[in-house]
């Protein structure tokens, strides 16, 4: 079973949304997890925007990178430069992908403006996972 890991700094927003989409899009044929190089807790705004897509991540936990899981991955996706730069070394057989997405947790403005940033990042993650799924289906 192929294994994928989504990593960001605090495992609170981007990687959690990626895990939620991957479980929905890639399905049970994949082993899917997310983690952070730190733990910042699950961001309630990430939970809210994922619920708008009928994906429930409300029971997810903010987790640190598990070295054993990381070593057994087929694909590791970093969603920010910090995670890319601080990610532990992985075997050369592991495909590393970097998606440099803005951190929605740092968005400022009205609640509506902040939620718009969360939605933009969420939608970008969804599109990237759909593309990743197509590439995996065709062996690319």
Q: Which residues contact 130 (CB under 8 A, 6 or more apart)?
A: 25
Give SS3 for 78. Answer: strand
Residue 9 corresponds to which tokens in the numbers above? Answer: 């700094």
Dump strand ranges (E) for 73-136.
75-78, 95-98
Pick the catalytic residue: 13, 73, 80, 136? 80
Task: Please state whether 109 falls in left (phi above 0), alpha (psi between -120 and 50) or beta.
Answer: left
* 98 strand-pairing partners: 78
Active site residue 73: no
Q: Is 129 helix (H, G, I), strand (E, B) or coil?
A: helix
The structure tokens 């509506």 sit at 112
Three-state secondary-structure class, residue 106? helix
> Which are the catalytic amino acids?
8, 80, 87
């Amino acid at each position: 079973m192929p294994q994928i890991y989504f990593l960001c700094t605090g495992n609170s927003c981007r990687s959690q949304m990626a895990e939620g989409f991957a479980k929905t899009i890639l399905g049970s044929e994949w082993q899917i997890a997310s983690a952070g190089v730190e733990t910042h807790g699950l961001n309630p705004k990430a939970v809210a925007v994922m619920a708008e897509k009928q994906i429930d991540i409300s029971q997810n936990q903010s987790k640190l990178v598990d070295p054993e899981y990381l070593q057994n991955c087929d694909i590791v996706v970093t969603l920010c430069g910090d995670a890319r730069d601080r990610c532990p070394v992985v075997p050369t057989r592991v495909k590393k992908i970097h998606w440099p997405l803005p951190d929605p947790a740092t968005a400022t403005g009205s609640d509506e403006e902040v939620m718009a940033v969360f939605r933009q990042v969420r939608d970008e993650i969804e599109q990237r996972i759909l593309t990743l799924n197509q590439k995996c289906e065709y062996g690319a």
